[in-house]
Amino acid sequence: MPVGMSTSGNGLIVALDFSDLQPALDMAERVASQVSMLKVGLELFNSVGPRAITELRETGARIFYDAKLYDIPNTVAGAAAAAGRLGVSMINVHALGGRAMMEAAREAARRGAREGGFPAPLVIAVTIVTSLGDRELREELGLPNSSEQVVRLASLAKAAGLDGVVASVHEVPEIKRACGSDFVTVTPGIRPHWAARGDQARVATPAEAIAAGADYLVIGRPITSAKDPREAVASIIQEMTE
> How many CB atoms neighbour CB 17 within 10 A?
18
The per-residue pLDDT for 9 is: 76
In the predicted structure, residue 111 carries a pLDDT above the cut 50: yes
Residue 176 known to be catalytic? no
CATH of the domain at 178: 3.20.20.70
Is residue 1 domain-resident?
no
DSSP strands (E only) in the chain = 12-15, 37-40, 63-69, 90-94, 122-126, 164-166, 184-187, 216-219
Catalytic residue among 39, 68, 176, 227: 68
The reply to whether 3 falls in a domain is: no
- Count of residues for the chain? 242
pLDDT at residue 196 in the model: 53
pLDDT of residue 202: 52
Cα gap 225→142, rounded to integer Å: 36
pLDDT tens sequence across 20-78: 999 999 999 999 999 999 999 999 999 999 999 999 999 999 999 999 999 999 999 99
Domain with 141, as residue range(s), is: 12-241
**Residue 5 in domain:** no
Domain count within the chain: 1
pLDDT, tens digit (0-9, with 9 covering 90-100), for 132-183 = 777 887 778 777 667 788 899 999 999 999 999 998 888 999 999 999 999 9
- Averaged pLDDT of the chain: 90
Band of pLDDT at residue 195, cut at 50, 70 and 90 = low
Residue 61 lies in a domain: yes
Q: Is there a domain that residue 177 lies in?
A: yes
